[in-house]
Structure formats: structure tokens, C-alpha cells
Structure 1
Amino acid sequence: MRVYVLAQTTCLRHLSVANPREHEHSTKKMASVKCNTVVSLREVPFSRRTNAEKEAIKQLGPPRPDLNIKQVSTKGEKAYTRSFKNNWYDRKTWLAGCDVANALFCYPCLLFHPENNTADGTAWTIKGVTDMQHLSDKVKKHEKAKKHMDSCLKFSALGRVNIATQLDEGYRLAVLRHNDEVSKNRHILNRLIQCVKFCGIFELALRGRDETEGSANPGIFRGLVDFVAQLDEVFDEHLKTASVFKGTSKTIQNELLGCMLGVVKERIVEEVKAAKFVAIQADETTDVSTQTQLVLVLRYIDGKYAVHERFFEFLPLTESTATSIANVILERLNSLFSDDEREKLIAQAYDGASVMRGEKAGVQQKVREHFKNAHYVHCYAHQLNLIMQQATSNISKVKVFFSELSGISSFFSRSPKRTSILDQVVARRLPRASATRWNFNSRIVNTVSENRADLIECFETIKTSFDQPTVREASGFIRMLQDEDFVFFLSVFHNIMPHVDILYQQLQQKDIDAVLIQRALQRFTSSVQAIRGSPSLQQVQGEPAAKRSRTALGEEEKQRMAKEICDTILAHCKERFSFTDHLVSATLLQGDLFGRYCHSFPTEALHATVKAYPMLDQAKLHTELSRGGAKRLLALLMSYNLQDTFSETVALLNIIITTPMTTSEAERCFSTLKRIKTFLRNSMGQERLNALAMLSMERKLVLSMPDFNERVIDCFAALKERRSKFQYK
């Protein structure tokens, strides 16, 4: 019987209690199921199956479905169509087919060498062979390979009674005892993995101050282990009687975390290898131990057309120079991409610092020397901050306005007594202003604008019950809130900031691309232009004053100032958000312009796109886009499965969607870093940090892998020779 513990919504549901002897019964039941397909062997590798399952798979033989592999080739002026014939199955007994991948595989190699990293092995075990023109040559070459011959020998010997079994019945009993012990050990290790995974996913510290027996503060990991032991008799007995492998030490924790990191990174690398195009995001920060950390994030589209931004690694830096950063990035990229795959890297996104964006000696230029298609993208969220900084710092009166505005929140933050009165009168806290995060400034503008009368009342209350310096400050804020110029600027930015907020939120989304950003920018600029021409801004009046200030703005000056603010924002938007160089490709996929392409095609944008991405066929792309109609094109591509017909358009779509427009995911990684590596956990090793960060940030990927624990156990068993047994015979 299997008991499930539901102690958090997501976490402890994995900590199930099972009798290890059920493993033998379940494997015998699975042996009767047809599990010799390529898909089944990829989900559960042959090496992780029991002897009964292996013999059943051998009896079933290689799967041989009817495949629809066709290949068109030309010789001279004649076209030939080559297709796969089923008589190939009779000619080669080791040949297997997969109707899902519509490709041919080597059955013995798929069983015994599924991760053959040679070029020939990859074709016959991972990707599958679909080249009918050179099939005979590929078959002959593969049959000569050493690993193929070794796989065929192992496949032939599988299930036959060896001499040791014939001569000694005790050998068979020893194998049974060994497998029983392995089942128990894997069950114990599975429980420990679940406890470590729980702590990693929820960013909890594994170790406590004192992990000795009977300690009052053994740590969360030991607490989870003791909790699971109360529900699992086998696990409880192991903790009480184990003398060889108990599994609760710091060393075992680090080894398990290292194996988890390796398994998840292996899965990410598989997805990157399968993706058509890949982009990177990188940014640097300093952690609590003053170590400079560079985060590397990979962006790509999977086979289901879902956009992923995967955390890959925190990389320690000895110095923050362009050469040092570029060398660290290139080292990782060279391990990810072979020489034939370098064109897949199509973009690199950074925050715009001079050391990163330098055109001659910056990081982006050093990376492009090795990856020519890796075009640089300046984070658009940072550019929006720069636009708002320019709009507020170049105009002196606006600069004074935001300085005075930030003083209100600082006034209340310095005293709990003042904050108490603020809570009583206004019933709302004032957010702090920020020089870089303009969505923070938006919050304080909106708060002050919506609660200006209550704030005046609050300052009047403070004047009656505080000391003289505080009374002077409160009186100054009252005059400021009643000032016509202050109220005017407050009204102007109260109208502008909501549109900045909307654009900023859109720039933070993972699935944002150049086309969507272009549409969002058009809406933003249209909104600012509408505000610029609005007559209501100049009619805003402050509280009536006994005497008008000589420096107060007149109506014409207010009108000029409002237009200057809007013009500054619009001018910088046009300059910083211009789609030039490789980003001009986004203009080719604007749905509202498709109807014009039949009569007036943007040839300059097409030339720039093909120059930036030479893997595209210019003539074919021109023909596909000239058909016109966004709905019609979308219907052709998605509903009628015309990806091959419109291959260049699909490739361009993949490039545009893969290109990251912001580095928001990299900054989210820094937030996780600060939660994991805290003041009390500042001596954490780099590999342990990366493992805990991976479990936290890629928790969905970890929980979606059905064989995650089994793969971690296999990796753990292969690390070194262990006295405990974890592999079946």
C-alpha cells in the first residue's frame, strides 16, 4: 500500500511510502507490456530495467512500423523521389523504426549505447536516420563501428544461461539477494533525494546549527528525514541500523545536489541541442560574500513552440573586465555548441554597461568574434529607465519636483511616530522613489496624486504635536503640496506614469519578442502624444494662496513645459527603441502591413535581415511574405501544417521569438541568489550554490521529469565506488 503525505501544496506529495518488495512485482507486470518502442526506451532506458523486462524486450524484437520517409533529390534536370521500403527490415535484423520520429534506429545500440556521442552513433540512437539517398553507405559505415559490434554481441548474449549459473546454483541466489539489497538501497536514497529536493525548491537551508543526535536545532533536512522516518518503516529501520551508508552527512548532501544539478543541466543541454536557435542573457552582481557572480540564462523554443528562459549557471568572476567576462562566457558556450552548431547562437542580451556593449573591445564584440550570428541586444527595460531619467534630469524644474516628491516618503520613513499618524489619516504607506526603477516612482506619483488632500491633513496633524524641526518640515510639505507648479507636474506625470507602467510590465514578460515590443511602443508613443495635446493639463490649479509666487509658471509656460516633457520622452523613445540592424527583421512580420507587401515590399528591411542572418533564403522568404494577410498566413502555417512550405518564414519567426529583448530573467536570478546565499550561509560552495539555485528557479522542469530521481540515483552510483550497492545485476 502506498501512503501519500500532503504537507505543503507541492512538496511533500513526493515523499510517498512504499514497500521495496513491490518493485519486483511491478517490474514483472511491466514485462508483459509491449515496451520495445523507441519512445518507451527513451523514457525508461534499457539499463534501468530489470532482467525480466530486458528479456521481454529482446523477445519482442526491434519495432518495425510502416514509415513514410520520402526524400526528393535532383540529378541534372530530373527529380527523383526516394522512399523507405519495408524490405530493409528483412535485410538488416538490427534495423528498427519509430513512427513518432519517422526515422530509422539501430536497435542493439539503442539498448546498450543510447548516448553514443559520436557523429555516427548520434544518428542511429538519438536523432534517427532519414537520409534515404545515402542509406546504404550509412548502414555499411555503422556496421563497421566498434560500439555497434559490441552492442550486437551483448544483445545476442542477453538471456542465455552462462557457465557460472550452470555450475553453481548459489550464483543465481546471490544475484537475487544483490537485487533485493539494491531495491532497498535505491528506496532509501529516493527518500533522501526527495528531502534535499524539497529544501532546494523552497530555498530552505539544509543544515542546522547542531546536527548531532538529540539536537534541538538539527536543521530542516534532518527534520524532514525524521518526519519521513515516522511514516516509512523501512526508512526508519535504515536510520537506526545503518553502519555503511546512512545518507545524512554533509558530503552526501553535496553529492546529491551535484547529481541533481548534472541531471537538470543535461536535460537543458538536450533541449538546446534540439532547438533551432538559441540566445543568451548575462548580467553580473556581487553576492553577500563579496564574490562577483555572472549569471548565464539560455533562451530558446522547444518542439512545442513554447519559449523557455532557463537558468544555466552562476559563474564566479575574478575581475569585471571585458576580457575576463568574455572568456568565462565563451568557455561555457564552447561546451554547449560544436563547430557545426555555432550559427544557432543568434543573440546576446546585456544591461547596456559599457564593458558589455563596447563595439570594439566589449564583451559582445569578443563573443561575436567566435559566434558571428550572436547579435547584441541592449535590454529594453533598462532603456526605458534611461528614457525616463533623461526626461526628468534634463529639465531642472522636473528634477526639483522628483527630489521634493522623494522627500515625502523619506520624512515618514525616519520616524515610526510619523508613520503611525500617516496610517491613521491617509491609511496608506508611501512607497520610496528610485533613480533606476521607474515603476517605483510611478507608485509614489500615483499615491501622492490620489491622496494629496489627506496628506495635507496628515501634515497639519503633525504640526500640532511634534518638535520644532519636524513642524518646520511639515509646514514646508504643506506649502509644497499646495503649490501650483508642484500640482501641475504631479498631474502631468500622473497621466504619463500609468503608460510607463504598462510598457514596463510588458517588457518583463518571458514571451515578449521584437514584434510585440514594436506594437507596445506604438501604443506607448500614441498615448504620450495624446497627453501632449491634452488641454486639461494646463488647467490644473493648486490651492488658493494669499499671494502668488513670482517664480510660479504662467499658463503659456505650463503648456510649453508639458510639451517639452512629452517631446523629450518621444525623442528618446524614437532614438533608443529604433529597430535597426538585425532587429529590423521584426518589421517584416507586422500583421497590419502584410496587405501592402503584394504591392510595396520592404526590400531594404529584407536585405538587412538576410545580411544579419545569412542562413535565410532571401528569394524564398520574399515569396512567402508577399502572399499577404496575417490571418491567412497563420492559418496556413498552423492549421494546415505548412511549416515545410513556409520554411523561411518559420525560421524568421523562430529567430525573432528567440531573440531576448530584456534581461529580466537574469535579474530574477539575482533575487534568488540573495535568498539562497544569505549572511548566515555565506560560506556556501559554488557547486552547491548552483544546484540550489537550479532547483529553485527550474522547479517546474524538475517536477515535470518523471524519472528525475532514478537518473539522480544512477548518477550518484556512478560517481565513485561505494560500499552500498545501487545498480541491479
Structure 2
Amino acid sequence: MAHNKKLKTSKITSFFKHNEKEEHDDEQPSTSKSDDVGDRPVLPEVQPEESAVEGDGASEAKDDDEADAGFDDWVSPNHPPTSSIPVVETKTQKILFQAKWYQSYPWIHYEPSLKRVLCFYCAQAEKRGLLKLAKNKEPAFVSVGFCNWKKASPRFESHQASNCHRVAKAAMSLKPEAKIDVKMDANRRQQQETAQRALMKVFKSLRFLLRQGLSFRGHTAEEGNFQQLLNVFRDDDEGLDRYLKRSISFTSPQAQEEMIQMFGADIVRTLAAQIAKDGPFGVMVDGTQDITGVEQEAICFRHVDDNLDVHEEFVGLYELPSTSGEIISKMIFDVITRLSLSTDNLRAQTYDGAANMLGQYKGCQAKVKERQPLALNFHCASHVANLIMQHAVSDCPAVRDAIQWVHELGVLFKRSGKFKGIFQDIAQDSLSDDQPVKPSTIRPLCPTRWLCRSPAILSVKDNYEPVLESLREMASSGTSESAVKANGLLDRFEKGATYLSLEMVTKPIVALEQLNRSCQSRSAIVSGMLEAVKVTRSQMMAWRTYEEFHDLFEKAVSKADELDLDPLSVPRKRNPPRRLTGTAAPFHPTSPEQHFRQQYLAFIDAIIVQMDDRYDSSQCNLAAYKVLGDMLISGKDVLAVQLAMYRQTTEAKSVQEAREAYKAMTPEVRNLFPQVATLMKLLLVCPVTSSECERSFSALRRLKTWLRSTMTQKRLNAVAVCNSHHLLLDNISLQRLVKEFAGRNEKRRKIFGF
């Protein structure tokens, strides 16, 4: 008996790793009268020693929460710190719960309400009634709890190998069979979520094609960009692949059209809300023909935000039954009404110089002013600059002919591959570091845009020698039509007068082209345009001197000698009719320089006269604008108080300076000048050009091609708006559009679950 007691003591000491000296063999722990035979230690009635319960506040709070939780609240075994588990005391030692048991027996669950451990699987299975077939259930691990740490290891081992534990673990691993209606709801919801994700991919594909201006359908629907883009997505998305195989996938042309209209309408609503918020606005209208010959009228709005930043927005293309001023004016007011804008805020209108737009009585501007007299009318500054150059060239025969020959050379270069090859070879041989060759710029001149011709003229001038050699070789290559044309052009370009005429036109056309570009900016204002015109006119006056022409003439003579061109000479004398000269003797130039100087000065004078006439600030609308500008700068008249304060604060000398000064102010200082801000908005909202409409024509040319000529007007309008406002298109919430599309009828709501 004594021998057995010594073995038990040795086992306990080695297991718990006590450092204390072993006690006598006859010392035994006290027992309790529980169902765990007679070996269960008695739980202490007092708190453990201070060393066993010390810990931070977080651990204590966690223990309190665990004590409040019932067993049904646990989803996994509770493994608290061993310091929170009560200590078993015997007469000679204290037996602690060992942390390593958590790893060896992960099913151990400490139940705070019992202050004992249970088998998590057995206890849970018992509560669910899953242990009816189990044999030898142990209450200590099922319901009562176990706390005899002295015999913990053997009891844990025996329980883990018991039939009850195996049955409980197997029963808990089986998920309860769901009801049929629950299964159907879960399956339906899964299908709806898959359909939602697939519809999102469809919208993303549409947005990409709209942004890039690409076609949706090809020769067949399967070969189109839209279907091929979805095929790229479906390779990595099984849900999308299953969705697209359904009979109803909302990828038909009708569904595409509806989605495209949603994108376009969302952008237009955003633009309309911003225009309405900013108050005063101006309107720009211009027309062009699409690839099928249909007249398309583009309408754009100009508005100024609270920070005095100018915005020009394209809102659509419209097909009209006629292009009369009355019809176009009705279209303008119809668009204003559809965008929920107020006609009272219309303050400016800008068009080209066509009679149907600027007619004094029946033009569009006159019809608009009948309903809104405060809408000032401005002739497009870019169109005016183009007309100035056109009339000036027409008044100078030498310049007119030289430009026409440059155009004919461009036509030959474009149509004859043989001539193009000859020119490129010769130009490459004569290539030097200080004179780069740009044969690609030798092209036909634009028949209407005169201020886009300078690159072609400069290219011919810079490559004059290669042009002559190419024409000579082409003219001697045979009797084809291209050879005949090359021979005729060679005769023209071999004259020194042709080169001098190109020199005469170069500087003026470049200056007017720069004026045109400066006015095309979206932030350009009328006062700034008038200042730019004044600077350009001053430059023209500086070029109208004998010294300036003498330099041009000497340069042309030097070039003629270098290239062996026909020398400059005075043409044959011709006396004008006496009815024009009277009795006075007619004037005849005595030298080539005098003769060509007369034409040069007439050309510059024509430009100056046209600028004075077409940019006349005394015109009705420009005069009204000038009054507003002078009011802002001078600081007097109607807004005396605020304007005087603003003038004293900023000392601005132009509308642009006043605008920049206002933008630099803090919000508190800005609030001192609300009327000044309104006045500046009225000045800034006046469009300088209708270039925004021209930009929409570029988009129209990209979108409606020969391959897409059957596009309807409604679709064209939406596609053009999306392509022109790609930043707004990128910021559209696809989730919102998907919900709107899916919620439009009951059938869609069932499919997508919205």
C-alpha cells in the first residue's frame, strides 16, 4: 500500500513540475461527493492567491464577459488564460490547470458558469439531442463539468477515445439539412448576385466603348467590339459565362441602346445642374454635315462658376428640318427648356457669320433677342480672323496665285505615289542638321480654314529646292497626267515672283493664326480678344514699312540666284482706261522692288482694314460689353460702393486682372463684393468663339463613319455626349445605373434582386 502511494505522489510531482520538496507518502487530497467517483478535488470557496489572479484590466473585463455568456453563445471552445481557472488545493499542494492541455485536447471548453471544463462537442451535441445513440455518456464532460486536475491527463485521454466523444464529434460535423424553401431562396439569391455582377461587367464594357468612341457591332453581332469585350471578361469569370448563355442576358441591341441613353442622360443632367447653379450662361451654335450629308447642329453652353472659372459644355447634336434662323432659335429655346434652365439667365450668343445666324431681321440672333433682349450677340472671333485672311489674299493676285500653286502641289503629292517617292528620296539626300525635312506636311490646303495653311506654306518654302528637283524629274518621267501637271507647276515655281509671294504671306498668316489660336481657348474672354486684336494690328503696322519689304525682297533675290530661278522683273506696262485715271498720267513702277512693294503694302493694308472693320468695338454688342468692362475697371456708376472698394483693393486694369484678383481673395473678402462677382460673370460668360462646336464636329467625324452611317440621331447624340465628356463618364456610378436599369420593371427586379 505504501509502495502504491509513493508511485502516485511521484506521478503528480513530475506532471505538475513542482519545485517544492516531496511530502510524506501518506498525505492524500480531500475528495468531494460528485459523480466523478471519489477522486474529485474539492473546489475552493475563496479566491485564489494574489499571484494566481493578477492581470491587466482587459483580461478581467474579458473574464467578466465570459462569465455573463451562456453556453449556447459559444461557437468554438473557450480557452481563457490558465490564471482565470480555479486552482485545486490539497493538504500539501496546489494543482493548476495546464495550458498545454489546450493543444493536446482542443475540444476542452471552460464554462465560466460552472467554473469547470466540458467537452465542447459532447456538451453541444447533448443540447441538440444528438447523443441518443451514444454509449457511456460521461456527465463530467457533458453537463456537470470536470475539475480534478490531478487526474486530468488520463481522464482526458479516456474521454477522447470514448464512444460518446466520437459520436458527438461526428454529429457536430454534419450540417443540419435546410428546408426546401430555404434552399430555393439561397439558390435564387446566389443567381441574383451572379446576375448583378454580370450586368456590372456589361455596363463597364459599354462605358469603355463609349469613352473610346468605338463601334459596338461589327458585320455580325458576334464579331462586334461589344461581344468580343464580353468574351474577354467571361474567360476569367464563370458567373458571367453562365449569365451570357441565358436566354435573357440584356445584351441585345435594344438593351444596349437603353444603357447608352442612360449614360448620355446622366451626363446631360450633371451638366444642366451645374449650368443652372452658376446662373448666367451663353449659348453657341454651329452646323456641319455628317458622313451621310445630314445637317447636324451642335449646341454648347458657356457658364462661369463661383470661382470665376469658365466652362464650355457640349450638350448635343440636333437634326433640324431646315437651317433657317427661326428654326435654329426654336431649337435653342427647346434645349434650354429641356435642361430646366431659365431663359432669363441667357446673356450671350455666339455664331459664325452666315446670314441665317447673324441676319439683322430674320437671323437666329434676332429671333433670340426677341425673347431675350439681354442676350448679346458676338460674331465668332476665329471665323472673323479666317474671313480677314480670305479677303486680304483675294485682294492680292500675286499672293492668291502662289497659295493656289502650293495647294496644287499638295494635291499632286497626295495623289501620285510616284511623285511622293521621288520627293522623299531627293529630300532625304539634301537633309541637313539646320534644315529638317518634313515631307508629310506637303498636302492640299483646307478650302475653308485659311488659318490652317501656314504649315504647308512653310514646308514648301523650307524645301523649295527639293520641290523643284522633284517636279523636274516627275515632268520628264513620261506623258501621264501627273507628269503634265508637274511640268505646269515647275513653270510656276521656277519664277522668283512665286517665292517672293510666299515670303510676303508668311508673317501675316502666322500672326493671324496665333490670334485665332488664342481666341479658341475655353477661358478666352471678349476683352482679352480685343486686346489680342490690338496687339496683332500693331504688329501688322510694324510690318508695313519700306524697310521690312526691302528685307523680304533681298531674301527673295538671293534665293532666286541660289536656285537659278527666273529673276524678278517689272511686268509689261499697261495703261488703265482713261475713265479711271482721267487726264493724269498713269503710274508705272520703275523697278521690280517698287512693283512688288506696291502689292505687299496693299496686302497688309487689306488685313488692317478688315481687322478695323470686323473687330470694331463700336458695334452695338461689343459697345455694350465695353460699358460693362469699363464699369468694372473704373469703379463708378451703378455699383459705386462695391466697385470703388474693389478698385481700391485690387487696382486691376483689365477684366482678366480683376478676375485673378478675385480668385486670390479669401471667401470672407469675396462676400464683400457679391455684385462685382455677378458683373464679372456677365463679362466672362460671353463666348469669344464657337470653337467648342467645332470640337464636337471632330468627335462627329470620328463617331459617324461610313461603317456606322446607319446610326440613329438619338443614339448619335448620346454617343457624342459620352465621348466628348469622358471625365464625367468615368465618374458615373455604375452601381447606381445598374440599379436603375434593373428596377425599371418587375421582370428585371426578379432577375437581379433589386
TM-score, shorter chain, exceeding 0.5: yes
Q: Match of 2:448, SS?
A: coil
Compute the displacement of 1:348 (Å).
Answer: 1.4
Provide the rounded CA distance (Å) in 1 between the counterparts of 2:374 and 2:752: 45
CA separation of 1:209 and 1:586: change in aligned 2, threshold 3 A: same
Write out aligned runs for 1:325-336 (5 A): 325-336=328-339
* CA deviation profile, 1:360-406 (whole Å, cap 9, x unmatched): 11111112222232221211111111000110112333322322332
1:453-505 C-alpha deviation (Å, 9 max, x unpaired)? 22222223334433387666545434433423222221111222221222222
Letter in 2 for 1:455: V
How many percent of aligned residue pairs carry the same amino acid?
Answer: 23
Deviates more, 1:171-180 or 1:375-384: 171-180
Which whole-Å CA distance do the structure 1 matches of 2:295 and 2:567 have between them?
57
After superposition, the C-alpha distances for 1:424-448 in whole angstroms (9 at most, x for unaligned) are 1135141212342123321222112
Separation in 2, partners of 1:316, 1:573: 34
Aligned partner of 1:658 in structure 2 is 685
Letter in 1 for 2:468: I
CA contact (8 A) 2:519 2:529 kept: yes
Consecutive unaligned residues in structure 1, runs of 5 or more: 1-168, 212-216, 607-615
Residue aligning to 2:265: 262
Aligned match of 2:149:
none
Q: What one-letter code is carried by the residue in structure 1 that aligns with 2:418?
A: K
Structure 1 contact 588–602 (Cα < 8 Å) conserved: no
Matched, 1:425 2:435: no
Report the CA distance shift for 1:403/1:588 in structure 2 as closer, same or farther (over 3 A).
Answer: same
Given that 1:515 and 1:589 are in contact with CA atoms closer than 8 Å, whether structure 2 keeps it comes out as no
Question: How far 1:666 moved relative to its partner?
Answer: 0.8
1:513 correspondence with 2:514:
no
User: 2:287, 2:297 within 8 Å by CA — same for their partners in 1?
Assistant: yes
Equivalent position SS for 1:651: helix
RMSD over aligned CA atoms reads 3.2
Task: Map 1:225-240 onto structure 2 (within 5 A).
Answer: 225-240=230-245
SS in structure 2 of the partner of residue 653 of structure 1: helix
C-alpha contact 2:395 2:603 (8 A) present in aligned 1? no
Partner of 1:715: 740
SS at match of 1:725: helix
Q: Distance in 1 between matches of 2:306 and 2:635?
A: 31
SS of 1:433's equivalent in the other structure is coil
1:629 to 648, 651, 670: 651
Name the counterpart of 2:698.
671
Q: Which 5+ residue runs of structure 2 have no aligned equivalent?
A: 1-178, 429-438, 573-590
8 Å contact from structure 2 (residues 272, 340) kept in 1: no
The residue type equivalent to 1:313 in the other structure is G
| Counterpart secondary structure, 2:522 | coil
Q: Describe the superposition over 1:616-648 as per-residue Cα deviations: whole angstroms up to 9, x where unpaired.
A: 846644663466623995446523332222233
Residues 698 and 471 (structure 1 numbering): CA distance in 2 closer, same or farther, change over 3 Å? closer
Corresponding residue of 1:568: 606
Matched, 1:551 2:571: yes
Matched, 1:536 2:584: no
CA deviation digits over 1:564-590, x for unaligned, max 9? 211211111122123343434665798
| Greater radius of gyration (CA) | 2
* TM-score, structure 1 normalization: 0.67
1:696 equivalent in alignment to 2:723: yes
Structure 1 CA distance for aligned equivalents of residues 183 and 477 of structure 2:
90
Superposed, 1:584-663 pairs within 5 Å as: 584=623, 601=634, 617=639, 620-621=642-643, 624-625=646-647, 629-630=651-652, 634-635=660-661, 638-641=664-667, 642-663=669-690
173-182 vs 411-420, which moves further: 173-182
Pick closer, same or farther for the CA change 1:293–1:465 going to 2, 3 Å.
closer
**Equivalent in the alignment of 1:210:** 220
Q: CA deviation at 1:246?
A: 0.7
Q: How many positions carry a matched residue from both structures?
A: 533
One-letter amino acid matched to 1:575: D
Query: What are the equivalent positions in structure 2 for 1:431-510 lying under 5 Å apart?
Result: 431-467=443-479, 473-510=485-522
Answer whether contact 1:585 1:656 (CA < 8 A) is retained.
Answer: no
Distance 1:394 1:416 in 2: 35
Is the contact between residue 625 and residue 649 of structure 1 (CA under 8 Å) also seen in structure 2? no
Name the CA distance, whole Å, in 1 between partners of 2:647 and 2:187. Answer: 67
Amino acid at match of 1:236: D
Tell whether the 8 Å contact from 1:350 to 1:356 is kept in structure 2 after alignment: yes
Using the TM superposition, give the Cα deviation of residue 170 of structure 1 relative to its aligned residue in structure 2, in angstroms.
Answer: 12
Q: SS of the residue aligned with 1:515?
A: helix
Indicate the residue corresponding to 2:123 in structure 1.
Answer: none
Q: 1:290 to 1:432 in 2, by over 3 A?
A: closer
Q: Distance in 1 between matches of 2:285 and 2:504?
A: 36
Give the distance between the partners of 1:439 and 1:569, measured in 2 at CA: 13
Contact 1:288 1:678 in 2 (8 A): yes
Please report how far the alpha carbon of residue 178 of structure 1 lies from its aligned counterpart in structure 2 after TM superposition: 7.3
Provide the residue aligned with 1:403 in structure 2.
404
The CA distance in 2 between the partners of 1:421 and 1:231, in whole Å, is 53
Query: Map of 1:29-428 to 2, 5 A cutoff?
Result: 183-211=193-221, 218-240=223-245, 242-243=246-247, 245-337=248-340, 341-427=342-428, 428=439
Task: Name the CA shift for 1:176/1:362 in 2 (closer, same or farther; >3 Å).
Answer: farther
Cα distance in 1, alignment partners of residues 567 and 244 from structure 2: 84
**Which shows bigger deviation, 227-236 or 518-527?**
518-527
The SS at the match of 1:300 is: strand
Counterpart secondary structure, 2:233: helix
Alpha-carbon distance in structure 2 between the residues aligned to 1:172 and 1:693: 48
Q: Is the 8 A contact 2:286 2:694 kept in 1?
A: yes
Deviation at 1:419, TM superposition (A): 1.5
Q: Distance in 2 between matches of 1:602 and 1:554?
A: 56
Q: Which residue of 2 aligns with 1:31?
A: none
